[in-house]
DNA sequence: TAGAAGCAGATTTTT
DNA sequence: TCTGCTTCTA
C-alpha cells in the first residue's frame, strides 16, 4: 500500500482512494494521469476487490500495454488473474465472441478495417464519394440508426442514396460474416440493449470501470459505459477536456463537459500539477487555452524552473523555414542532445515534405511517426487476405483482393462474372465454384476456369493441411502462391519483402506463444493492432500534432503557424478544437519550444500568401514574451518574380526592422522591394 | 488482360 | 505539385 502512495501528490492520492461512485478525474497535460489510473487499479485490488471485476478501457493498444505493465509493477503479490485492461474495441470483440449468437450471427466473424470498408463501398459502384459515404455510415452506426430508419428519415435524394448504400453494406457484412470497427461497439450495445438480463449480468461482473482519455469518447461509447455501469455507477473516467482533438471523428466533448450532470453525485478531482514542462511553456499553453469558452477550466501549475523563453521565427517561405529548423536541430544534436528528445510537429501532413527535404539536406536522420501503418501496407494486407480466405473461403471480399495477385490470368471481366454469379445466387464465389461448377465453366473462358480450379484447389489443400499440428502454414502458402517471390521481382520490392518476412515472423511467434489459438484468432487480433514502431534511437521524430498526443520531448519545434493552416479553416473545422490542438502541441514540450511560421507556402500546386496564426498572439507573442526573429533565404543572385515588375535578380539583401528589404534588378531597373512581395523562382 | 496515359482531388485518423 | 484512379490501346 505504501508503495502505491509513495509517489503520489495530494490530488492524485485522493483520486486513487475514492473507490465508489462516479468520479471525473480532470488530468491536465503532464499531470501524472497514467500513474493515477494504474495506482487506482492496484489500490482497488489491494483493497480486496477481485481483479476480475475491474475493467479498464483505453483507446490504444499502446496505452493499454503501458498501463497493464505499470499496474502490475505496483502490486506486491503476483495476481493470478490480471484485471481486464484493453481498448474499447478489444472489449467489444471479446464480448461479441461470447454473445454474437444473440443477434443470430456466428461468432466466427472477421474484422475489417477502414480501408476494407472503403473497398467494399467502392465495389458497389456508387456515384457519391466513398470516404463521405463511409463517414456517414459510421455516423449512422454510432448513432444507432438502422438502415431502415435511415432510409425513412432521409429527406434529400443524396441522403436516401447513402441510406440505401448503408443498407446494402450492412447486408454485405452480414452475408460475408464481417464486422467493422463501428460494429465492435454498436453490436455489443445492441445486444445489451435488447437483453436487459444479460446487461445486468455483465454490469455486475464489472463492478469497477475505469476509462482513459475520456474526452475522446463518442456517443456510442458513452451509452455503452452507461450500460456497463448501470447496476453500480462505479465509473471512474480520466481525461482532459482541453485535449479533446477528435471531435471531427465523432468524439463528443460534451461527454466530459457534462459528465457530472449525467451521473449524479460525481466526485470531480482536478490534477493540475504539471511535471513535464518549464514555466515558460506552461504559461503559453495556459494563455492559449484560456481563449476557449467551452471548457471546464483549469490552469496547469508548474513544478519546474522558468526555463528558456519560447522562440518564434518567421520565414519568407517554407524552404528557409526547413533549412533553419534543420540547422537548429543539427546544432542540438552536435551539442550532444539525444535525437529521441527532439521532435518537429505540424498541423497537416502536407507540411512534412519541406521539412523532410531540409532534414535530408542537412543530413539529420529522422523518423516520421504515423504514416502508413504496418498492417495497412498493401503487401501485408495481401498476405492477410490469403490467410482470411484460408480460414474462410466464403470471404469474397478478401478473395477479390488476391484471386489475381500474383497475376495468374484472372482479369477484371472474370472477377466481375464470378461476383455477379455469387450475387445472383446469394452465395459466395466459393459456393459458385463448388455447387455451380458447370454453369461457371460455361460463363468464363476455358483458361480462366482452369486457373480458378487450380486456385481453389490450392486453398482447399492448405485448409486441409491446417488441421494437422505439425504443419507450417507459411512455407506452404509461399510454395502454393509465391507472394513473397512476386514482390521480390518488383523494382522497389525490397521493403515489401522485408515487411512480408516481418509478418511471417509475427505469425510464427504467435503460433509458438499461443499453442492452441486458431489462425482466425490471429487475424482478429492483428486487425485491432496499430503500429507500435519503436522510435529509432538515433533519429529525431517528425509527426502531425494528432500523432504526438501522449508523447513528450525536451526540444520541440512546431511549424506552420499560419492562419488557414493552423488554425485550419474550412468545412467541419472548429476553432476551439484547433486551439486545443495548439494546446496539445505546446504541452508536448519539456524544455525548449520553438514556433515558426512562413509568409508564403507552396500548397496544392499554388503559392499561398499567409498571415501569422492568431494562436501566436493568443499564447503571448504580442505581449513580447516570445522572441521574434525573421530569417530569409533570399541572397545576392537569387532569381525572383514580382507580380507587377516580373522577373528579376536580387542585388542586395538588407534588414529593415523585422523585415528584409531586397534591391532587385528588373531588366535594368533597380527597385527596393520587401521580401514578402516577391517569390523565388 | 495488362501497361500507359489522362484527370480530379488534395485535413487531422487511437480502432 | 503530386498521387491514385479511370480510361484507353496493344
* Average pLDDT score over residue span A401-417: 83
Q: Say whether the CB atom of A604 is under 7 angstroms from strand C.
A: yes
Through-space separation of residue A596 CA and nucleotide B9 C1' in angstroms: 28
Our answer to whether residue A212 is catalytic in this structure is yes
Task: Look at residue A153 and tell me whether its pLDDT is greater than 70.
Answer: yes
Count of C-beta atoms within a 10 Å radius of residue A655: 11
* Average pLDDT score over residue span A131-141: 88
* Average pLDDT score over residue span A207-225: 96
Instruction: Give the whole-angstrom CA distance, residue A128 versus residue A615.
Output: 36
Task: Look at residue A485 and tell me whether its pLDDT is greater than 70.
Answer: yes
State the pLDDT at residue A622.
Answer: 55
- Determine the nucleotide nearest to A606 by Cα–C1' distance: C1
Residue A176: all three cell numbers together:
460475408
| Bridge partners, residue A286, by sequence | none
Grid coordinates 474462410 are at which residue? A392
State the pLDDT at residue A325.
Answer: 94
Evaluate whether A61 touches A528 at the Cβ level (below 8 Å): yes
A429-481 confidence digits (pLDDT tens) = 899 889 988 888 888 888 888 888 889 999 998 888 887 765 688 888 888 88
Evaluate whether A267 touches A26 at the Cβ level (below 8 Å): no
Through-space separation of residue A412 CA and nucleotide C7 C1' in angstroms: 14
Q: Provide, rounded to the nearest whole percent, the portion of chain A with pLDDT above 70.
A: 94
Which comes out higher in pLDDT, residue A629 or A418?
A418
* Average pLDDT score over residue span A610-626: 78
Instruction: Give the whole-angstrom CA distance, residue A67 versus residue A37.
Output: 8
Q: Looking at beta carbons, which pairs linking A628-631 to residues 24 or more positions away fall under 8 Å?
A: A628/A312, A628/A313, A628/A314, A628/A658, A629/A311, A629/A312, A629/A313, A629/A314, A630/A313, A630/A314, A630/A315, A630/A658, A630/A659, A630/A660, A631/A313, A631/A314, A631/A315, A631/A316, A631/A320, A631/A324
Question: pLDDT band at A630, cuts 50/70/90?
Answer: low
Task: Look at residue A659 and tell me whether its pLDDT is greater than 70.
Answer: no
Residues 120-159 of A with CB under 7 A from strand C: 122
State the pLDDT at residue A633.
Answer: 66
Task: Look at residue A238 and tell me whether its pLDDT is greater than 80.
Answer: yes
Question: pLDDT band at A201, cuts 50/70/90?
Answer: very high
Which comes out higher in pLDDT, residue A465 or A627?
A465
- Determine the nucleotide nearest to A602 by Cα–C1' distance: C1
Which comes out higher in pLDDT, residue A676 or A474?
A474
State the pLDDT at residue A627.
Answer: 47
Asked if the peptide bond before residue A406 counts as cis, ω within 30 degrees of 0, the response is yes
* Average pLDDT score over residue span A490-513: 81
Question: pLDDT band at A658, cuts 50/70/90?
Answer: low
State the pLDDT at residue A93.
Answer: 94
Q: Which residues contact A99 (CB under 8 A, 6 or more apart)?
A: A188, A191, A198
Which one of A388, A588, A612, A614 is the catalytic residue?
A588
State the pLDDT at residue A676.
Answer: 67
Q: Which of A72-81, A187-196, A511-520 tops mean pLDDT?
A: A187-196
Our answer to whether residue A34 is catalytic in this structure is yes
Task: Look at residue A285 and tell me whether its pLDDT is greater than 90.
Answer: yes
Start-end of H helices in A375-411: 378-391, 396-402
Which comes out higher in pLDDT, residue A400 or A145?
A145
Our answer to whether residue A213 is catalytic in this structure is yes
Instruction: Give the whole-angstrom CA distance, residue A601 versus residue A56.
Output: 45
Count of C-beta atoms within a 10 Å radius of residue A149: 13
Asked if the peptide bond before residue A567 counts as cis, ω within 30 degrees of 0, the response is yes
A13-55 confidence digits (pLDDT tens) = 999 999 999 999 999 999 999 999 999 999 999 899 999 999 9
A3-16 confidence digits (pLDDT tens) = 788 889 999 999 99
Task: Look at residue A346 and tell me whether its pLDDT is greater than 50.
Answer: yes
Task: Look at residue A2 and tell me whether its pLDDT is greater than 90.
Answer: no
Range in A345-354, A655-664, A669-678 with the lowest mean pLDDT: A655-664
Our answer to whether residue A243 is catalytic in this structure is yes
Task: Look at residue A76 and tell me whether its pLDDT is greater than 70.
Answer: no
- Determine the nucleotide nearest to A119 by Cα–C1' distance: C5
Task: Look at residue A657 and tell me whether its pLDDT is greater than 70.
Answer: no
Inter-helix orientation angle A494-513/A378-391, to 10°: 40
Q: Which of A101-115, A196-210, A355-369, A419-433 tops mean pLDDT?
A: A196-210
Burial class for A59, CB neighbours closer than 10 Å (0-12, 13-18, 19+): buried
Please give the model's pTM, rounded to 2 decimal places: 0.86
- The helix or strand, by DSSP H or E, that contains position A654, with its residue range, turns out to be strand A646-656
Through-space separation of residue A604 CA and nucleotide B10 C1' in angstroms: 7
Three-state DSSP state, A7? coil
State the pLDDT at residue A625.
Answer: 44
A535-558 confidence digits (pLDDT tens) = 556 889 999 999 999 999 999 999
Residues 10-69 of A with CB under 7 A from strand B: 59-62
Average pLDDT, chain A: 88
State the pLDDT at residue A41.
Answer: 94
State the pLDDT at residue A560.
Answer: 94
Amino acid at each position: 500500500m505504501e508503495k502505491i502512495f509513495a509517489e503520489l501528490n495530494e490530488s492524485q492520492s485522493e483520486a486513487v482512494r475514492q473507490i465508489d461512485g462516479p468520479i471525473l478525474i480532470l488530468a491536465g497535460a503532464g499531470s501524472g494521469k497514467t500513474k493515477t489510473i494504474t495506482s487506482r487499479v492496484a489500490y482497488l485490488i489491494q483493497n480486496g476487490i477481485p481483479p476480475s471485476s475491474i475493467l479498464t478501457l483505453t483507446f490504444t493498444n499502446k496505452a493499454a500495454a503501458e498501463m497493464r505493465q505499470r499496474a502490475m509493477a505496483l502490486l506486491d503479490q503476483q495476481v493470478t488473474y490480471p484485471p481486464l485492461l484493453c481498448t474499447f474495441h478489444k472489449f467489444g470483440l471479446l464480448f461479441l465472441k461470447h454473445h454474437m449468437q444473440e443477434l443470430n450471427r456466428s461468432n466466427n466473424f472477421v474484422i475489417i478495417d477502414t480501408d476494407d470498408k472503403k473497398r467494399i463501398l467502392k465495389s458497389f459502384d456508387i456515384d457519391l464519394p466513398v470516404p463521405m459515404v463511409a463517414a456517414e455510415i459510421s455516423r449512422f452506426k454510432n448513432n444507432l440508426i438502422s438502415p431502415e430508419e435511415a432510409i425513412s428519415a432521409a429527406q434529400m435524394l443524396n441522403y436516401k442514396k447513402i441510406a440505401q448504400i448503408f443498407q446494402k453494406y450492412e447486408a454485405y457484412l452480414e452475408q460475408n460474416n464481417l464486422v467493422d470497427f463501428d460494429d465492435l461497439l454498436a453490436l455489443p450495445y445492441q445486444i445489451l440493449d435488447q437483453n436487459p438480463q444479460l446487461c445486468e449480468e455483465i454490469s455486475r461482473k464489472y463492478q469497477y470501470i475505469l476509462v482513459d482519455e475520456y474526452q475522446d469518447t463518442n456517443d456510442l461509447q458513452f451509452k455503452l459505459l452507461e450500460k456497463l455501469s448501470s447496476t453500480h455507477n462505479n465509473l471512474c473516467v480520466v481525461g482532459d477536456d482541453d485535449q479533446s482533438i477528435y471531435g471531427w471523428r465523432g468524439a463528443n466533448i460534451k461527454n466530459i463537459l457534462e459528465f457530472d450532470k449525467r451521473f449524479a453525485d460525481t466526485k470531480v478531482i482536478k490534477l493540475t500539477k504539471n511535471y513535464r514542462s518549464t514555466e515558460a511553456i506552461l504559461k503559453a499553453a495556459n494563455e492559449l487555452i484560456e481563449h476557449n469558452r467551452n471548457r471546464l477550466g483549469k490552469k496547469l501549475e508548474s513544478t519546474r524552473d522558468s526555463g528558456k523563453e519560447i522562440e518564434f521565427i518567421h520565414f519568407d517561405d517554407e524552404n528557409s523555414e526547413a533549412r533553419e529548423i534543420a540547422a537548429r536541430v543539427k546544432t542540438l544534436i552536435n551539442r550532444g542532445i539525444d535525437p529521441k528528445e527532439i521532435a518537429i510537429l505540424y498541423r497537416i501532413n502536407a507540411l512534412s515534405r519541406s521539412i523532410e527535404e531540409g532534414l535530408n539536406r542537412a543530413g539529420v536522420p529522422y523518423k516520421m511517426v504515423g504514416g502508413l501503418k504496418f498492417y495497412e501496407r498493401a503487401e501485408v494486407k495481401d498476405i492477410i487476405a490469403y490467410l482470411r480466405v484460408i480460414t474462410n473461403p466464403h470471404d469474397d471480399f478478401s478473395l477479390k483482393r488476391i484471386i489475381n495477385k500474383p497475376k495468374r490470368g484472372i482479369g477484371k471481366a472474370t472477377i466481375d462474372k464470378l461476383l455477379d454469379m455469387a450475387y445472383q445466387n446469394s452465395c459466395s464465389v466459393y459456393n459458385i465454384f463448388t455447387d455451380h461448377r458447370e454453369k461457371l465453366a460455361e460463363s468464363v473462358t476455358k483458361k480462366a476456369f482452369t486457373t480458378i480450379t487450380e486456385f481453389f484447389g490450392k486453398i482447399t489443400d492448405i485448409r486441409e493441411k491446417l488441421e494437422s499440428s505439425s504443419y507450417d502454414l507459411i512455407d506452404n502458402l509461399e510454395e502454393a502462391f509465391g507472394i513473397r517471390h512476386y514482390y521480390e521481382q518488383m523494382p522497389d520490392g525490397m521493403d515489401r519483402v522485408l515487411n512480408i518476412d516481418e509478418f511471417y515472423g509475427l505469425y510464427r511467434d504467435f503460433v509458438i506463444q499461443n499453442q492452441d489459438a486458431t489462425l482466425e484468432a490471429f487475424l482478429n487480433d492483428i486487425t485491432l493492432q496499430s503500429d507500435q514502431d519503436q522510435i529509432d534511437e538515433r533519429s529525431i521524430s517528425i509527426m502531425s500534432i494528432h500523432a504526438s498526443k501522449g508523447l513528450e520531448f525536451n526540444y520541440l519545434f512546431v511549424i506552420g503557424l499560419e492562419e488557414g493552416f493552423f488554425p485550419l479553416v474550412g468545412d467541419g473545422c472548429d476553432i476551439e478544437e484547433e486551439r486545443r490542438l495548439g494546446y496539445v502541441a505546446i504541452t508536448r514540450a519539456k524544455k525548449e519550444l520553438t514556433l515558426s511560421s512562413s509568409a508564403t507556402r507552396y500548397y496544392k500546386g499554388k503559392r499561398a500568401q499567409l498571415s501569422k496564426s492568431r494562436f501566436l498572439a493568443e499564447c503571448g507573442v504580442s505581449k513580447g514574451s516570445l522572441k521574434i526573429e525573421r530569417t530569409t533565404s533570399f541572397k545576392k543572385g537569387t532569381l525572383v518574380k514580382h507580380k507587377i515588375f516580373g522577373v528579376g535578380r536580387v542585388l542586395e539583401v538588407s534588414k529593415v526592422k523585422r523585415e528584409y528589404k531586397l534591391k532587385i534588378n528588373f531588366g535594368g531597373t533597380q527597385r527596393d522591394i520587401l521580401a514578402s512581395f516577391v517569390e523565388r523562382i
